[in-house]
């Protein structure tokens, strides 16, 4: 959560969570740039599992919209949350887990940018979390909806970045033993 006494642009000490919002079989079909979005989310998940913990997947009404695309789900080490609410921030179990783990920063990707992603982000910003949007790992059916939603979330305080940028930011240094693995993920 943001430290109100320190209003600098530097991110607060990071206790991160990666939120993968509603990357479900029936939702992703009409989304523009979907192959690139899936590829970038896969890179994020693979790198995140090496560098961090606190990986969350949400599924919007999975009985009607299908489950998370199976190729994206890790074998373990993640939490899946089924929801009917558009905003993941309205799920008390989710918010309680973030609080219990002292998570301050949310790295967000998924679909659709202007619906579930935007509502989750705006609610989480209001609750005091720092939110980092992975712009090339989220999308909508219509490009204009995606672009306007990004602008709105940025105006409200979210930080915009890309898949490769956030992976290197999480890695911090080429001296890490995991760096070779991370470099291979980026190149894939």
Question: Does the annotation mark 76 as catalytic?
Answer: no
| Helices (H), ranges, the chain | 25-28, 34-51, 62-65, 92-100, 118-126, 143-155, 163-171, 179-187
Catalytic residue among 83, 109, 136, 171: 83
Q: Which of 109, 116, 124, 171 is catalytic?
A: 116
Catalytic residue among 22, 43, 109, 123: 22
Residue 136 annotated as catalytic: no
What DSSP designation does 68 have?
B
Task: Name 16's Cβ contacts closer than 8 Å, sequence gap at least 6.
Answer: 52, 54, 103, 104, 105, 106, 107, 170
Whether cis (ω within 30° of 0) applies to the bond prior to 154 is no
Coil, helix or strand at residue 20: strand
Question: Is 171 labeled as catalytic in the residue annotation?
Answer: no
Tell me which residues are annotated as active site: 22, 83, 116
């Amino acid at each position: 959560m943001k430290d109100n006494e320190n209003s600098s642009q530097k991110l607060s000490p990071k206790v991160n969570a990666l939120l993968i919002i509603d990357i479900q079989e029936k939702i992703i079909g009409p989304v523009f740039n979907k192959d690139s979005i899936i590829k970038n989310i896969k890179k994020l998940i693979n790198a995140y599992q090496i560098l961090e913990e606190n990986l969350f997947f949400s599924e919007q009404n999975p009985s009607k919209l299908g489950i998370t695309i199976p190729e994206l789900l890790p074998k373990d080490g993640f939490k899946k949350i089924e929801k009917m609410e558009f905003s993941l921030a309205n799920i008390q179990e989710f918010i309680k887990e973030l609080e219990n783990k002292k998570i301050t920063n949310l790295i967000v990707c998924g679909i659709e940018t202007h619906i579930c992603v935007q509502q989750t982000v705006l609610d989480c910003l209001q609750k005091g979390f720092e939110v980092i949007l992975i712009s090339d790992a989220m999308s909508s059916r219509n490009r204009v909806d995606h672009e306007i939603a990004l602008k709105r979330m940025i105006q409200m305080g979210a930080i915009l970045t890309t898949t490769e940028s956030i992976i290197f930011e999480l890695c911090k240094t080429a001296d890490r033993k995991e760096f070779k693995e991370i470099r291979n993920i980026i190149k894939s």
